């Protein structure tokens, strides 16, 4: 048994060394959909997409960083949703969208449907109606950004993290149609900062469902054992780190003190009472 623990220790040390040497420099992620059709050069679809890009770049309404647009007529209609991270100001948002448009043009040049996830904004477009529709696929995750070598107590960290994410998910989903964003921090063996955000065209139920998926099986598969991680889905995103990655002036970071689940508390009170 001692031997296998030593082995696990060596294995995890080797893993960490390996991770540190492969720093993720570019945190842009994309999904170019190849099943919903491609367009050709000089097609009506291309013209509509370019019109949409230029409208998005020149849109004068900030609207809390949410853009819901539609250009052209079916079957060449392009529908788009763009969303900046909830704590970002207009100038940063605009330049992020501009960069994301450029990145998608490079990476998905002829796909009718695509998603680009940048650190501070997300852009999606499709021939389908996407406004108000909950979509959790395709998805991706990202870890290894931030301080990965910090030691952590798994149980403490995981319980505090899931407590924090649950709180933020309820808060974000309950917010109005302008912005469904919530940011907070909690402390276990270390401080954890987190944010969750849904595209604000979603209903409260859809936003909750989206975040539940992100913080459930998707977080397990991408983030287990990580002190910094992101889960990116079309309709919602979450991110946590033990570094302050949010803009602390605009994010309204709520301190969420970790407290054990209420049923444990009730149980101990009852025992005391019987005693
Ligand atoms: C679209 O183009 C990609 C290559 O860029 C190709 O793999 C895919 O099969 C095409 N999809 C359709 C529906 O033609
Ligand atoms: C698209 O239009 C440009 C400019 O009119 C032309 O140079 C190019 O050959 C056209 N491409 C295709 C595939 O038709
Ligand atoms: C938008 O992106 C293009 C290409 O990356 C760049 O040349 C241009 O300066 C950007 N404009 C703004 C306002 O950021
Ligand atoms: C990463 O963690 C180490 C050890 O806890 C600490 O010395 C270092 O300052 C941290 N770096 C950052 C960027 O937080
Ligand atoms: C988004 O745009 C579509 C098409 O223009 C419209 O039907 C829908 O009501 C808009 N949704 C929001 C939340 O603005
Ligand atoms: C933070 O709170 C202020 C005041 O209530 C509000 O105007 C602002 O929109 C909030 N910011 C975010 C990102 O929720
Ligand atoms: C989240 O935590 C804050 C701070 O403790 C609290 O005021 C708020 O009611 C909590 N929200 C939920 C939905 O638990």
- pLDDT for position 144: 66
- C-alpha–C-alpha distance, residues 199 and 190, integer Å: 30
- pLDDT for position 155: 76
189-200 pLDDT, tens digit each: 789 999 999 999
**Which of 119, 130, 127, 128 lies closest to 92 in space, CA to CA?**
119
State in Å: Cα 108 to ligand 2 middle.
19
- pLDDT for position 115: 97
- pLDDT for position 211: 98
Same domain (yes/no): 21, 147: yes
- pLDDT for position 145: 55
- pLDDT for position 261: 60
Q: How many domains does the chain have?
A: 2
pTM for the whole thing?
Answer: 0.82
| Percent of the chain at pLDDT exceeding 90 | 65
Whether residue 136 is contained in a domain is answered as: no
Check which CATH number belongs to the domain holding 214 and give it: 3.30.430.20
Give the ligand at the shortest distance from the Cα of 254.
7
* Number of Cβ within a 10 Å radius of residue 11: 10
Give the ligand at the shortest distance from the Cα of 65.
6
State in Å: Cα 244 to ligand 4 middle.
13
- pLDDT for position 165: 97
Question: 57 CB under 6 A from ligand 3?
Answer: no
Containing structural domain, residue 147? 2-26+141-274
Residue 19 pLDDT class (50, 70, 90 cuts): very low
**Which of 96, 131, 166 corresponds to the end of one domain?**
131
Mean pLDDT over 1-14 rounds to 38
**Which of 154, 133, 149 lies closest to 233 in space, CA to CA?**
133
Q: How far is CA 54 from CA 33, 58, 61, 123, 144, in A?
A: 22, 6, 14, 13, 34
Whether residue 230 is contained in a domain is answered as: yes
- pLDDT for position 267: 39
As given in the structure block, the two tokens for residue 252 are 């309204």
- pLDDT for position 153: 54
Same domain (yes/no): 81, 201: no
State in Å: Cα 67 to ligand 3 middle.
19
**Which of 131, 157, 179 corresponds to the end of one domain?**
131
**Which of 104, 131, 158 corresponds to the end of one domain?**
131
Question: 170 CB under 6 A from ligand 7?
Answer: yes
In the block, residue with structure tokens 């949409």: 52
Same domain (yes/no): 40, 174: no
Same domain (yes/no): 123, 63: yes
**Which of 258, 216, 206, 214 lies closest to 239 in space, CA to CA?**
214
Same domain (yes/no): 145, 250: yes
Same domain (yes/no): 207, 86: no
Same domain (yes/no): 108, 198: no
Same domain (yes/no): 57, 192: no
Q: Is the dihedral of CA 56, 60, 63, 65 positive or negative?
A: positive
In the block, residue with structure tokens 């992020």: 96
- pLDDT for position 24: 31
Mean pLDDT over 109-116 rounds to 96
Same domain (yes/no): 8, 34: no
The pLDDT of residue 36 is above 60 = yes
Residues 6+ apart with CB under 8 A from 253: 183, 184, 185, 193, 246
As given in the structure block, the two tokens for residue 19 are 């991770």
Same domain (yes/no): 148, 22: yes
- C-alpha–C-alpha distance, residues 163 and 214, integer Å: 14
58-106 pLDDT, tens digit each: 888 898 999 999 999 999 999 999 999 999 999 999 999 999 999 999 9
| Bridging pattern class, strands 29-38 and 111-117 | antiparallel
| Percent of the chain at pLDDT exceeding 70 | 81
Mean pLDDT across the chain: 84
DSSP state of 67: E
Question: 206 CB under 6 A from ligand 7?
Answer: no
Greater pLDDT, 192 or 227: 192
Question: 251 CB under 6 A from ligand 6?
Answer: yes
């Amino acid at each position: 048994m001692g031997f296998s623990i030593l082995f696990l220790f060596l294995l995890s040390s080797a893993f960490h060394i390996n991770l540190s040497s492969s720093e993720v420099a570019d945190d842009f992620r994309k999904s170019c959909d190849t099943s919903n059709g491609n367009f050709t050069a000089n097609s009506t679809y291309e013209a509509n997409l370019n019109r949409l890009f230029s409208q998005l770049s020149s849109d004068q309404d900030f609207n809390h960083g949410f853009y819901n647009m539609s250009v052209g007529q079916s079957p060449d209609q392009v529908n788009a949703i763009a969303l900046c991270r909830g704590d970002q100001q207009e100038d940063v948002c605009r330049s992020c969208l501009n960069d994301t448009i450029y990145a998608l043009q490079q990476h998905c040049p002829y796909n009718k449907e695509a998603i680009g996830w940048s650190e501070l904004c997300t852009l999606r477009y499709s021939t389908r109606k996407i406004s108000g529709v909950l979509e959790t696929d395709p998805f991706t995750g990202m870890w290894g950004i931030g301080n990965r070598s910090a030691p952590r107590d798994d149980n403490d960290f995981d319980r505090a993290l899931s407590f924090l994410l649950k709180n933020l998910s309820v808060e974000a989903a309950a917010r109005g149609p302008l912005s469904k964003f919530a940011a907070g921090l909690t402390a276990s063996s270390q401080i954890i900062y987190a944010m969750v955000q849904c595209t604000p065209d979603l209903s409260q139920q859809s936003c909750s469902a989206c975040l539940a998926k992100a913080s459930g099986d998707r977080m397990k598969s991408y983030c287990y054992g990580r002190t910094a991680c992101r889960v990116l889905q079309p309709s919602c995103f979450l991110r946590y780190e033990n570094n302050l990655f949010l803009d602390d002036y605009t994010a309204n970071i709520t301190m969420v003190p970790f407290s054990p689940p209420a049923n444990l508390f009730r149980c101990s009170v009852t025992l005391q009472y019987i005693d």
